[in-house]
Chains A and B, each alone.
Chain A
Amino acid sequence: MPKLIKDGAIIDNQYEWLQDIDSTTNEKSIVAAQKWLSEKDTIGKVAGIWLDAGDGTDILEGIDLNQFNVIGINFPAFADGRGFSYARLLRERFDYQGEVRALGGFIPDQLGYLLRVGFNSFQFAEDVDLEKALLLHKPFSVAYQGDVADPRPIFLRR
């Protein structure tokens, strides 16, 4: 079973990221948000949904997100930083408490920033050495801005 990093540990991946919109879904599937939205009355139980870059989070307005175990966010390329805003919005605006999983082309060196905007699990590309990635699994020990872990900027903490 493929592995991932979740909450700072390497664990078995329980869910399947369904990238193909025509795949059949089950309770282990992470389904494209657009697909789930258009089929939500019939699709049945899924593990969660995933947002693609460009989807934005507005499409989730009015949905009870805490019905999902996981919300994935896809990085089509590691330099495409839209997902950083999406994760933060899920945590801060939608108050989503479940797993926020990074998917796609992000790289281990981005972990510090990814953690700060609210990701807590990381499904890396297959060639990434998770043991090595784990060494990068921490932000700097100090930060100027508020973030998902602590919304207070440095001027409220100095």
Chain B
Amino acid sequence: MYQYDAIDQQLVEERVAQFRDQTRRYLNKELSEQEFLPLRLQNGLYVQRYAPMLRIAIPYGMLSSVQLRKLADISRRYDRAYGHFSTRQNLQLNWPKLEDVPDILAELTEVEMHAVQTSGNCIRNTTTDQYAGVISDEVVDPRPYCELIRQWSTFHPEFAFLPRKFKIAVNATESADRAATQVHDIGLHIKKNDAGEIGFKVIVGGGLGRTPMVGVTISEFVPREDLLTYLDAIIRVYNQQGRRDNKYKARIKILVKALGIEEFRRRVDAEWAHLRGKESTVPMSEFERLASFFTAPAYQTLSDQPTELSSKLAESAGFARWYERNTFEHKQAGYRIVTLTLKKAGQAPGDATADQMEKAADLADRFSFGELRVSHEQNLVLADVRQDQLIELWDAAKEAGFATPTLGLLTDMICCPGGDFCALANAKSIPIAAQIQDTFNDLDYLYDLGNIDLNISGCMNACGHHHVGNIGILGVDKKGEEFYQVSIGGASGHDASIGKILGPSFAQEEISSVIQKLMQVYVDNRSEEERFIDTFRRIGIAAFKEAAYAKTN
């Protein structure tokens, strides 16, 4: 993991002092509400329905057990002893007191954490694949590049007041895109060119919200040393030319769409021509320095499928299920990647109590070199678990509520906090998730349905990524009542697509039965081994629509 040096530490400490002063002046009424707003947002602090919400950055999802224990401790002393892991690798506290926030931030700096730019119209936390560095088919480990981008984007003096928020995600493998890069303002795909040099395919103008769009390729290959000057060029064009008259048309996707990708590329290239090769060109020594923080831990020499694992798989269906769903192939023989799911029935998706955070930290210490990752699907990951310790880990994970063996299945939902907490929401989302958890509680049936992404957002801001769920559920307000619009056919991987709206919205109590009807259409129409999304793409929306709105006889 990246370790702060004196410079990194000084910067976060100065930021805390600055924010402490801003908060003091706000509470003294020296700063108006309007002036304090962007200042607190740039530090992740929203004012929500009942209390402020503080969003803490977990840069590219990497978390040490020490940091996670600190988060648990903070949530216990300053909040209600739980937190919510978001889709963009952040942790949200829902009940802090405004006047406590400077102290919370000061405590975060003790473990090299911060809440810098987790909100506001600036460059947000850079995200990546939760399996970074431990899968065999990635081009290179994306984390050193994420750290490079984190530093470049942190307090960038020119880009703190952009037309709208700006999100960057990085992917480094052809086999999957677990960071949903195509629905980010900039998506970066690490690749090698024919000469074996490392660079980035750059995708621009993706995003969700009111006008969901899949990004388009602006460059097939930007050499890695030119990454920062290229990013500067893109964002400088956007900062000057993006729309500022209407917040719903202010994301970069609208500018790219309005100009067309050729014209946008021409403008970026014209800007880049001035910047390329200048001081921000990254020297090899910096790549080496950053890479040195992400070396392999002290793996033992082991072989795959040790006998205790094979026999447990044969004798315990429960274990076999968990192994199949919640663990993933590791590049190192004898190791496995394990997801600790935060999708237990009865708990809001992505929520973890302080006790759970501490247990997860303990598990990381016992089984995975003291490190964890946070995933886009709102789960925790232990990246380096010995296969001969999986049985022990499974037992411990079950006890802590982390072993619901449904990773990637219908009930592994992405869900925003919704109307229960969020001031922006039109409708609640957590009760919808609970309803679906309750209805789809038969594991055999869930397994039979296979991989399905179901995403729930409480409003058009799309924090629950409903547009790119195979099934998306969006809370809407109809004359003061909460209704839900269902879309179908979205995807967030390399085959990213925006879902199509099924039709008129449904009442809250109808949702589960609608999902059941959609599942039935899938089961009736699928060919063997066909995933839900593939069946949908083959047969189209009509059959699903008909079933969802059919009158019951």
Contact = CB atoms under 8 A, between A and B. Distances in A.
Contacts of A142: 7, 10-11, 14
Contacts of A53: 244
A95 interface: no
Interface stretch (B149-157, B296-304, B354-362, B462-470): B149-157
A110 B22 CA distance: 12
Contacts of B274: 93
Given A85-B239, A154-B151, A145 B35 contact: no
A113 B236 contact: no
Nearest to A106: B161
B239 A84 contact: yes
B286 A155 contact: yes
B51 to A, nearest CB: 24
Contacts of B159: 81, 84
B280 A153 contact: yes
Interface secondary structure of A, over-half rule: loop
Interface residues of B, number: 40
Interface in A116-133: 116-117, 132
Contact of B161 (A80, A88, A155, A156): A80
A145 B15 CA distance: 16
Contact of A145 (B5, B157, B239, B282): B157
A88 B14 contact: no
Interface string A59-88: 000000000000000000011111011101
B35 A153 contact: no
Interface string A80-103: 111011101000010000000000
B263 interface: no
Interface string B257-293: 0000000000000000010001110110110010000
Nearest to A153: B280
Contacts of A139: 157
Contact of A151 (B11, B152, B278, B283): B278
Given A145-B280, A155-B286, A158-B7, A82 B157 contact: no
Nearest to B36: A109
Given A142-B7, A142-B11, A144-B151, A153 B157 contact: no
Contact of A140 (B11, B30, B244): B11
Contacts of A84: 157-161, 239
Contacts of A16: none
Given A82-B240, A84-B160, A109-B39, A158 B280 contact: no
B42 to A, nearest CB: 10
Interface string B95-121: 000000000000000000000000001
A153 B38 contact: no
A45 interface: no
B268 to A, nearest CB: 14
A145 B152 contact: yes
B158 A79 contact: no
Interface string B1-42: 000010100110011001000100000001100010011000
Q: 7 smallest A-B Cβ distances: which pairs?
A: A81-B161, A116-B157, A155-B286, A144-B151, A113-B157, A151-B279, A140-B14
Interface of A: 53, 56, 78-82, 84-86, 88, 93, 107, 109-110, 112-113, 116-117, 132, 139-147, 151-156, 158
Given A109-B22, A144-B156, A156-B279, 18 more contacts: A78-B35, A79-B161, A81-B121, A81-B159, A82-B240, A84-B239, A113-B155, A116-B157, A140-B155, A141-B10, A144-B11, A144-B155, A145-B157, A146-B279, A151-B278, A153-B279, A154-B7, A155-B286
